[in-house]
């Protein structure tokens, strides 16, 4: 960039990231600028970015139209649009959404879906429905599968965006529903169900997904939804046993404690009675009733096709985990051994064993001892209190993770896959990128936004990748 006196630039600012300024002088290797607030600032020329003085007040709807496509320019454009309630902006075929943190029902009603249906991409205002529509049209006209990647930091709106994409796809690819258990209804209802078991309150988001999710929606040759498959990645297991204030454990535990009948049946009570929940004093979420959420989860289970018996088993297992967490240990007579601490712990132990449908003594043995396989046979070794607690927590985490996997499999089985389907749309909603200083998957890190990226290379990438490698591969690949 060639700088002259009077050049319009962006200069870094501690408070607002970037501030508009104008070059006034050159002092040695430095450039003196005066900011819009009238402050004189010295900066190295490489730290200044050109600024379009004539930038449209309302911003541009596609950032490829910007005179200067640089970080401050992009942020400024998004800010201008956001001020006018325009939360969506394109950068070519990429959609950037800035979280409105308020309900915008007029943006997502049936009328809007109807408008975007079949409209050429870019003709109407930027919208997540336009991306979903473009992928549906591309799938139909090219007869090729598509995938949409939704990425961004925690709380950016990935999951909400994913749900809107699914809502749109079930709208354009749905049949006239005669009962409420059509494939598309089941696909949509899988969301609240997975969220009850895989989402939790964090400092960044009251409904933070603690797992990655890839939903593949299958279509028949005429473009109607014929099946779906959900794959989940890397559930945060540690949250089951360890939480910090003001975060929460997985929603389902609080729902169960507020369920009324189940609370009594499983000898539960207020969440503050349970170690796995009372490590944080946050039990309620603003504007959310745990009891109502419990009913919603139950209803979602009905729609997805989980039988009453299975539902009972699911909540029984959750209750068992809570009782398990309340078992405390005390040093035993032998060196480095442990025993169940007191009557209270014993009653939780009994309840846990009853709910797990296992033998009480066997549970004690598994918690307080370890069996080691040697050449001479099996040796039973006592565990000290610390090791017993660690074993107890591992059991809780493993049971929970298996329950989660079982639930996903159950949803998959009951929604049903269409093995004959030749065309699919995959939607990936994956968290965790916020912990990287920079991720190469999308360059818009640091923003409270999400980026929806439509292409089908991702689908190929995902094939043949095992769970653990997924994140690594995503980060390595320049999509
Ligand atoms: N399009 C939207 N309209 C209105 N509110 C939204 C929208 N997108 C997100 N939100 C609000 O922001 C909150 C966080 O969004 P969401 O749960 O989708 O974030 P996320 O990116 O999935 O975060 P995490 O990585 O923690 O799972 C939502 O609960 C909702 O209140
Ligand atoms: Mg999420």
Q: How confident is the model at residue 53 (pLDDT cuts 50, 70, 90)?
A: very high
Element (H, E) at 214: strand 212-219
In a domain, 264, yes or no: no
For residues 210 and 349, membership in a common domain is answered with no
Do strands 146-151 and 423-429 pair parallel, antiparallel, or not at all (unpaired)? parallel
**pLDDT over threshold 80, residue 447:** no
Task: Collect all residues with Cβ–Cβ distance below 8 Å to 95 and sequence separation of at least 6.
Answer: 88, 89, 126, 127, 128, 130, 131, 451, 452
- Residue 179: per-residue pLDDT: 59
- Residue 430: per-residue pLDDT: 80
For residues 133 and 205, membership in a common domain is answered with yes
- Residue 16: per-residue pLDDT: 84
- Residue 221: per-residue pLDDT: 94
Atom of ligand 1 nearest to the CA of 199: 27
The domain spanning residue 170 has which CATH number?
Answer: 3.40.850.10
**pLDDT over threshold 60, residue 401:** yes
Q: Ligand 1 centre and the CA of 284: distance in Å?
A: 18
Structural domain total, the chain: 3
For residues 437 and 386, membership in a common domain is answered with no
DSSP assignment, residue 239? G
For residues 406 and 422, membership in a common domain is answered with no
For residues 185 and 333, membership in a common domain is answered with no
Mean pLDDT of 14-37: 94
Characterize 180-193 residue by residue with b for buried, 16 or more Cβ atoms within 10 angstroms of its Cβ, and e for exposed. Answer: eebbbbbbbbbbbb
In a domain, 314, yes or no: no
For residues 22 and 83, membership in a common domain is answered with no
Asked if residue 152 lies in contact with residue 447, where contact means CB atoms within 8 angstroms, the answer is yes
- Residue 341: per-residue pLDDT: 97
Residues 181, 368: Cα–Cα separation, whole Å: 47
What percentage of residues in the chain have a pLDDT greater than 90? 74
Residue with the smallest CA separation from ligand 1 atom 8 is 157
- Residue 176: per-residue pLDDT: 59
Domain boundary among 412, 438, 463: 412
For residues 83 and 196, membership in a common domain is answered with yes
Instruction: Judge if the beta carbon of residue 431 lies within 6 A of ligand 1.
Output: yes
- Residue 462: per-residue pLDDT: 36
- Residue 69: per-residue pLDDT: 86
pLDDT digits (tens, 9 = 90+) for 271-300: 999 999 999 999 999 999 999 999 999 999
Atom of ligand 1 nearest to the CA of 160: 18
Instruction: Judge if the beta carbon of residue 127 lies within 6 A of ligand 1.
Output: no
Residue with the smallest CA separation from ligand 1 atom 30 is 101
The tokens 């936004």 sit on which residue?
A: 449
For residues 222 and 89, membership in a common domain is answered with yes
Output the CA–CA distances (angstroms, integers) from residue 347 to 145, 278, 335, in the order listed. 55, 19, 25
For residues 361 and 442, membership in a common domain is answered with no
Instruction: Judge if the beta carbon of residue 100 lies within 6 A of ligand 1.
Output: yes
Catalytic residues: 154-155, 159, 205, 208-209, 432, 434
Residues 433, 181: Cα–Cα separation, whole Å: 35
**pLDDT over threshold 70, residue 304:** yes
Q: How confident is the model at residue 431 (pLDDT cuts 50, 70, 90)?
A: low
Highest mean pLDDT among 152-166, 348-362, 370-384: 348-362
For residues 392 and 427, membership in a common domain is answered with no
The domain spanning residue 388 has which CATH number?
Answer: 1.20.120.720
Instruction: Judge if the beta carbon of residue 208 lies within 6 A of ligand 1.
Output: yes
Mean pLDDT of 171-197: 85
By the CB criterion, residues less than 5 angstroms from ion ligand 2 are 158-159, 209
**pLDDT over threshold 50, residue 85:** yes
Q: Ligand 1 centre and the CA of 320: distance in Å?
A: 31
Q: Ligand 2 centre and the CA of 286: distance in Å?
A: 18
Q: Ligand 1 centre and the CA of 425: distance in Å?
A: 22
For residues 85 and 233, membership in a common domain is answered with yes
For residues 97 and 189, membership in a common domain is answered with yes
pLDDT digits (tens, 9 = 90+) for 30-52: 999 999 999 999 999 999 999 99
In a domain, 266, yes or no: no
- From 157, 200, 247, 449, the mutation candidate for ligand 1 (largest count of ligand atoms within 8 A of CB) is 157
Query: In which domain, by residue range, is 42 found?
Result: 8-50
- Nearest bound ligand to the CA of residue 157: 1
| E strand spans, 260-324 | none
Residue with the smallest CA separation from ligand 1 atom 15 is 157
The domain spanning residue 44 has which CATH number?
Answer: 2.30.30.360
- From 85, 87, 99, 191, the mutation candidate for ligand 1 (largest count of ligand atoms within 8 A of CB) is 99
**Average pLDDT of the residues of the chain:** 88
Residues 55, 78: Cα–Cα separation, whole Å: 12
What percentage of residues in the chain have a pLDDT greater than 70? 89
Q: How far out from the chain centre does Cα 406 lie?
A: 19
- Cα angle, residue 431 at apex, residues 426 and 436 outer, rounded to 5°: 125
Q: Ligand 1 centre and the CA of 5: distance in Å?
A: 44
Atom of ligand 1 nearest to the CA of 429: 22
Characterize 317-330 residue by residue with b for buried, 16 or more Cβ atoms within 10 angstroms of its Cβ, and e for exposed. Answer: bbbbbbbbbbbbbe
Q: Ligand 1 centre and the CA of 333: distance in Å?
A: 53
pLDDT digits (tens, 9 = 90+) for 136-182: 999 999 999 998 888 877 888 999 999 999 999 999 998 755 656 68
């Amino acid at each position: 960039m060639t700088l002259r006196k009077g050049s319009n630039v962006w200069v870094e600012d501690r408070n607002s990231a970037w501030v508009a300024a104008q070059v006034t002088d050159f002092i040695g290797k430095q450039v003196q600028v005066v900011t819009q607030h009238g402050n004189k600032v010295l900066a190295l020329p490489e730290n200044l970015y050109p600024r379009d003085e004539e930038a449209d007040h309302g911003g541009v709807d596609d950032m490829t139209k910007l005179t200067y496509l640089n970080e401050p320019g992009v942020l400024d454009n998004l800010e201008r649009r956001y001020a006018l309630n325009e939360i969506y902006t394109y950068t070519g075929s990429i959609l950037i959404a800035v979280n409105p943190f308020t309900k915008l029902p007029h943006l997502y009603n049936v009328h809007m879906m109807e408008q975007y249906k079949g409209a050429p991409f870019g003709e109407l205002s930027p919208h997540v429905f336009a991306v979903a529509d473009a992928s549906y049209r591309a799938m139909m006209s090219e007869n090729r599968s598509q995938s949409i990647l939704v990425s961004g930091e925690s709380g950016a709106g990935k999951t909400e965006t994913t749900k809107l994409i699914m809502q749109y796809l079930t709208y354009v690819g749905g049949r006239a529903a005669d009962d409420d258990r059509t494939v598309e209804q089941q696909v949509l209802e899988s969301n609240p169900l997975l969220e009850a078991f895989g989402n939790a309150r964090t400092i960044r988001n009251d409904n933070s997904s603690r797992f990655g999710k890839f939903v593949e929606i299958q279509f028949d040759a005429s473009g109607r939804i014929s099946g779906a498959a959900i794959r989940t990645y890397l559930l945060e297991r540690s949250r089951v046993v360890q939480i910090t204030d003001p975060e929460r454990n997985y929603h389902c535990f609080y729902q169960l404690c507020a369920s009324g009948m189940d609370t009594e049946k499983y000898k539960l009570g207020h969440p503050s009675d349970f170690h796995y929940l009372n490590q944080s004093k946050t039990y309620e979420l603003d504007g959310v009733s745990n009891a109502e959420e419990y009913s919603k989860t139950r209803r979602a289970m009905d729609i997805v096709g989980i039988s009453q018996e299975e539902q009972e088993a699911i909540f029984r297992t959750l209750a068992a985990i809570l009782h398990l967490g309340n078992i405390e240990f005390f040093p035993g007579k032998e060196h480095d051994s442990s025993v169940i601490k007191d009557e209270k712990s014993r009653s939780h132990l009994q309840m846990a064993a009853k709910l797990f449908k296992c033998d009480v003594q066997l549970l004690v043995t598994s918690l307080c001892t370890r069996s080691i396989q040697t050449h001479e046979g099996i040796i039973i070794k006592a565990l000290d209190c610390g090791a017993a607690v660690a074993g107890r927590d591992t059991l809780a985490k493993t049971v929970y993770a298996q329950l989660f996997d079982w639930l996903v499999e159950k949803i998959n089985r009951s929604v049903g896959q269409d093995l004959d389907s030749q065309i699919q749309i995959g939607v990936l909603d994956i968290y965790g990128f916020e912990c990287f200083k920079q991720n190469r998957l999308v360059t818009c890190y640091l923003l409270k936004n999400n980026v929806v990226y439509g292409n089908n290379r991702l689908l190929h990438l995902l094939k043949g990748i095992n769970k653990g490698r997924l994140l690594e591969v995503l980060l390595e690949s320049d999509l």
